[in-house]
Chains A and B, each alone.
Chain A
Amino acid sequence: MKTFDRQAMTVAEEFVSKVEREARSSLIRVYAPMILLVVMTIGFSIYDSHFFSMKNLSNILGQMAVPLTLATGLTFVLLIGRIDLSVEGVMGLVGSAIALLVVNSRNSNDWGIWGVIVPIIAGLLFGLITGILHVRLRIATFIITYATGTIAAGIAVLLYHSQPATAKAQWIIDASRTTFLNIPLITWIAVAFFAVCCVILNYTAFGRAVYAIGDNEAAARASGINVSKVTIQVFVLSSFAASLAGVLALIRLKLGQVSLGTDQMFPCITALVVGGTSLAGGKGGMLQTMVGTLIYMELLNFLTIIQVPADYKKAILGVIIIVAVVLTLTRGRKTIAK
């Protein structure tokens, strides 16, 4: 029998130092997007003096209303490690329905405020149904939300029989023209919604439960959190955001058609991921969402200013998604996909 001496630094201590090192590097990842935003803003301003002009900045903020609203709702979805592909369809449905119910070019409806409330309730119902189907039947969210989103878009087209209505209600026209401090009203509405969601995420039990589920669903359940209920609530919140985005998009464009929502969701997911929200859940927050959305909007605006053709723009954004996802990945994972 042979025995060997033990050595100075124990392997257990090595393990602790390894974990600490990882914690430090994850801290860097939290601040990286904010540094990137500052560097980008300064860099773009130096490259082209138009970029930092009052006119261009209010332009960026004006375009931000819809992405910020959607991204705010999607933050909750991503934080619990799910995805919501239905937001585009819900957005299109709500926008189209409002255009048909208020004073418009197609029919003689004039439901007034109910013309907005009823479509939003319909949008919320979609979130509720999506959430229930997901938790009861355990259908993966990427497929169930794609399905419900498609249904929503389909209903929208059926509603206007392929001939979308133009909203002509006076309040919509007024709302689209109103600005405050050179920033359009719809952006202020988006910012207000964002602020409310900040409070919900950071000051309610629901908000804590969202983080807990994303980080460790089993532990959350064991702590007495009703995971199913919170998950359904998250989808209702996300569909509310989509509905609100539908209202804002309609105010901007007036024409109530499904394409109000087309190609809106993935840019938001990009913004979230660039801001540092993890697709696997648990990591991210409202600050990250705002930073990510600003980075995305500034970049898009800058590429337009320097006249990069649309096709190249898409390719550049694609590369950015890959880089951002790689940076937010948890290292040391054995399997490729969750």
Chain B
Amino acid sequence: MNQEILFTTENIGKTYGVNTVLQGINVEIRRGEIVGLIGENGAGKSTLLKIIAGVEQPTVGTMEMNGKPFSPASMLDANRQGIGMVFQEQSLISNLTVAQNIYLGRERDFSSFGLINWSRMNARAREALNKMGLKDISPKARVRDLDFAMRQMVEITKVLDIVSETANNRALILLDEPTTVLSDAEMAVLFEKVRQMKEKGNSVIFISHRLQEVLQITDRIYVFKDGRQTAEVRTEGADEYILYEKMVGRETNGEYYVSARQTVPGADVVLEVENMSLFGSFRNVSFKLHKGEVLGLCGVEGSGKEDVCGVISGDLASTSGELKVRGKRVKFASPGDARRAGIISVPRDRRDEGIIGILPISENISVSNYEKNAAHGLISNRRQDRNAREWVRSLSIKCAGVAQRVSNLSGGNAQKVIFARVLDSECPILILDHPTRGVDLGAKGDIYALIRDITEKGFSVLLMGDTLDECLGVSSRVIVMKDGLVCGEFDCPADNKPDQVDVVKLML
């Protein structure tokens, strides 16, 4: 590795509305260096990569590539300047062949009179694949017939080929969790290729949840937390424990999570999951949710926790195992079934799954419980509005009136409307999927207080927290999942919360 600086960012920040997701980022990438980015979900790692790759524009800050100002207008623009990104969600076109994917949008190089010379394109693809040592991938194979590791390799080949057209071994390749779908052997191959790229003078930024991998492949590591860059570690001499510590940072005090009002759950089991599995997602998950309890589910994205909640809320069907509500076996065909059994969820993706933006607040609140506001089968607008006004008051939702469209509310207030709907349904079991994501600080406090209110009333909550800190702070007990399996369980009494490092160790 030499000391020549390839790429820097200065004070990069990104804000969505009132929500700051990235702030004051100053990273520096040297030529021939592999740099790791680690941090919890939502720490801002992927956002930074998207900004560097030209997919998103920064709200503030500047970047430099090769000593010149760099502000890509699009991904293509970034490509032309030597920066390419391999996405977490794969962006290959599955019904085209490997060669067609590598040269998608660049077919002109192989055309005469508008007709593509497939054999010439395949030959060039062969060369590009060989350069990556991928001798066993045929350029003519359709991407949908390749396994994930191979697709990942093809994607990297594509990005490298695009970038190296201009970069001449001064490329910066961004890898966003490239190993999630790979087996150990496949990962070894990938790392080998990444090292070869590095040998030639290219640089790589690498995001992964698996710290061992990060320690194995990188030269230097940046730690991100809550949208800020909190530490920089030289990989040489570092170990996982040091990284854990840097990642979790300092703990938030109990007051923030209203821990004083944390309930001590009773012995009544309201929901029991027994040996539940969903093929390809999670396996043999068992736990009990008690009356008045907040049970936290911890795990990185892809650990299977989302799908566990999906099954309980009736959105997905498990392949085996049992689900019992108050001792009775149940099987849900839809979220409607789950609601009738007393389970309702606050979805993570507010815009897509939570609110019906064009409807007014009053209808958004009553959409799960029309019967309640109906008279003789017809909805009574008067009743519906009266009901909504009560909720607006008791949850202090800031709005112009119950007739206001939810799409015009701030994130925190929109979330409160969803809470109102969920509470209005009087379901005793709530699934809260990242209830504070994209919500401002004040509204967060309101939501924590609300969780305390309802658990005091005997409601039970299954929580997937936005951060580990939140999950531990709010829950009475947490279950840790990794790679589809439950790998640990911690009691979280208000006066004795478990050490975050211990929990993170199991998650990663």
Interface residues of A (CB under 8 A from B): 1-4, 6-7, 10-20, 23, 26, 199, 203-205, 208-209, 211-212, 214-216, 218-220, 222-225, 282-283, 334
Known interface pairs A11-B280, A14-B279, A14-B280; A4-B487 also in contact (CB < 8 Å): yes
Nearest opposing residue in chain A for B482, CB measure: A6
Query: Who on chain A is nearest to B502 by CB?
Result: A1
Report yes or no: B485 in contact with A204, Cβ–Cβ below 8 A. no
Q: Does B100 contact A (CB under 8 A)?
A: yes
The distance in angstroms between the C-alpha atoms of A19 and B58, with both chains bound, is 36
In the complex, what's the smallest C-beta–C-beta distance from B44 to chain A, in angstroms?
A: 22
Q: Is the CB of A216 within 8 A of B104?
A: no
How many residues from B make CB contacts under 8 Å with A?
45
Write the chain B residue with the least CB distance to A12: B483
Check A219/B93 contact, CB under 8 A, given A1-B488, A205-B116. yes
Q: Chain B, 36-64, contact with A by CB distance < 8 Å: what is the 0/1 string?
A: 00000000000000000001000000000
**A7-B485, A11-B280 as given contacts; A222 in contact with B91, CB under 8 Å:** yes
Collect the chain A residues with CB atoms within 8 Å of residue B502's CB. Answer: 1
Contact partners of A216 in chain B: CB under 8 A: 91, 93-94
Report how far A7 CA is from B183 CA in the complex, Å. Answer: 15
**Residue B484, interface by CB 8 Å:** yes
Question: SS class of chain A's interface: helix, strand, loop or mixed?
Answer: helix
CB closest residue in chain B, given A225: B105
The 6 closest A-B pairs by CB, nearest first: A11-B484, A205-B107, A224-B105, A15-B280, A223-B105, A18-B280
Residues of A within 8 A of B280 (CB): 11, 14-15, 17-19
A4–B485 CB distance below 8 A? yes
Query: What residues make up the interface of B, taking CB atoms closer than 8 Å to A?
Result: 55, 75-76, 91-96, 100, 104-108, 111, 114-116, 118, 144-145, 147-148, 181, 183, 279-284, 304, 315, 483-490, 498, 502, 506
Q: How far is the CB of A228 from chain B (nearest CB, A)?
A: 14
Q: Which of B92, B144, B487 contacts A6 (CB 8 A)?
A: B487
A residues in contact with B486, CB < 8 Å: 4
B95 contacts A215, C-beta separation under 8 Å = yes
Question: Which residues does chain B contribute within 8 Å of A7, judged by CB atoms?
Answer: 283-284, 485
- Selected contact of B183 from candidates A13, A18, A19, A224, CB within 8 Å: A13
Is A222 within 8 A of B279, CB to CB?
Answer: no
Q: Are A3 and B484 in contact (CB under 8 A)?
A: no
Cross-chain contact A208 with B181 (CB below 8 angstroms): no
A220 touches B183 (CB 8 A): no
Beyond A2-B489, A222-B76, 14 additional contacts (C-beta under 8 Å) are A6-B485, A6-B487, A7-B485, A11-B282, A12-B183, A15-B181, A15-B280, A18-B280, A199-B115, A220-B104, A222-B75, A224-B105, A283-B95, A334-B315
A150 to B471, CA, bound (A): 58
